[in-house]
Amino acid sequence: MIVLRDEARIARLRRVSQLLSLVGFLALVVGLIMAFLDPARYFIYQLVALLAGWVMSQIGVSLGHRYVRRPRPDEVLDKEVKPAAKDGRMYHYLLPAPHVLLTPHGVILFVAKFQSGVISVDNDKWRQRGIGLRRFFGGESLGNPTREAQMLVGALANYIRKHAPEVEEVPIAPVIVFTSLGTQELEIGETSVPVVHFKKLKGFLRQQRGKGRQPELSAADYAALKRAFDEKASHLLEQRTDELDEAMGA
């Protein structure tokens, strides 16, 4: 499997996460110190410091789950997907959807979720339990991954229509993947988008292919999709070519 990853974006957002977490922590400390000085005089400033500190720290934590904590969601996906899609091309943080796999059978869009606790879904309604106060201090909330997947499918489909108009119909298969060991349990009821824990992703992909649910793309459609997706990764492909040339010349 070929993996194309925007390392520059990851490094940039890693630094943003670390900076926001630090500044947010300092703002919270300043807000707490103000409480011991003159509460009446500094009340507004204290409130602003605490609110700004909390917001910045939450954004920092949310970005940290994606770009700082190892293994990152993209790394988890690579490890689990590779054995089941050796003929695939994985694109991370390059397309309108963060994690996209192109294979001769179609396009798979992964919605990676890092949330922990007991996660349940039924009729596309989601709940998260068993996290206590972490609900308020754990960064991004669970939200509705089904709706998120549908929005990402729409965004990717629009990109394909614009950059590969010759492809009349593209099977885009969204999959919601929980990438954290902290996800204690998944209770999956009726859902319009498949939901799996990363430990079961490899088997899920093999099962889907084995059941013939992913018909082969035509050679022309695959080439058009590859060209459209690689367009966003042209700088990475050029870098790989240069590195290969250097290795052959050494």
Mean pLDDT for the chain? 88
pLDDT of residue 185: 83
| pLDDT tens for each residue of 63-94 | 999 999 999 999 999 999 999 999 999 999 99
Does position 138 have pLDDT exceeding 80, yes or no? no
* Lowest mean pLDDT across 31-35, 36-40, 75-79: 36-40
Boundaries of every domain in the chain: 2-67, 73-238
Comparing 244 with 36, the larger pLDDT belongs to 36
Maximum average pLDDT range among 38-47, 85-94, 167-176, 206-215: 85-94
pLDDT of residue 181: 79
Looking at the chain, the whole-number percentage of residues with pLDDT higher than 70 is 89
- With cut-offs at 50, 70 and 90, classify the pLDDT of residue 214: low
Question: Is residue 36 exposed (0-12), middle (13-18) or buried (19+ Cβ within 10 Å)?
Answer: exposed
Average pLDDT over residues 145-157: 96
- With cut-offs at 50, 70 and 90, classify the pLDDT of residue 132: low
**Residue 234 backbone phi and psi in degrees, to 5:** -60, -40
Cβ 174 vs Cβ 152: under 8 Å = yes
Comparing 18 with 138, the larger pLDDT belongs to 18
CA distance 4 to 92: 6
- With cut-offs at 50, 70 and 90, classify the pLDDT of residue 244: very low
For 111, what's the count of Cα atoms within 13 Å in the CB-facing half-sphere?
A: 23
| pLDDT tens for each residue of 225-240 | 999 999 999 888 877 6
Does position 129 have pLDDT exceeding 90, yes or no? no
CA distance 98 to 114: 14
- With cut-offs at 50, 70 and 90, classify the pLDDT of residue 169: confident
Residue 232: how many CB atoms within 10 A of its CB?
18
Average pLDDT over residues 59-65: 92
H-helix or E-strand spanning residue 103: strand 99-103
CA distance 212 to 209: 5
Does position 53 have pLDDT exceeding 50, yes or no? yes
Does position 16 have pLDDT exceeding 80, yes or no? yes
pLDDT of residue 162: 95
Question: Is residue 244 exposed (0-12), middle (13-18) or buried (19+ Cβ within 10 Å)?
Answer: exposed
- With cut-offs at 50, 70 and 90, classify the pLDDT of residue 248: very low
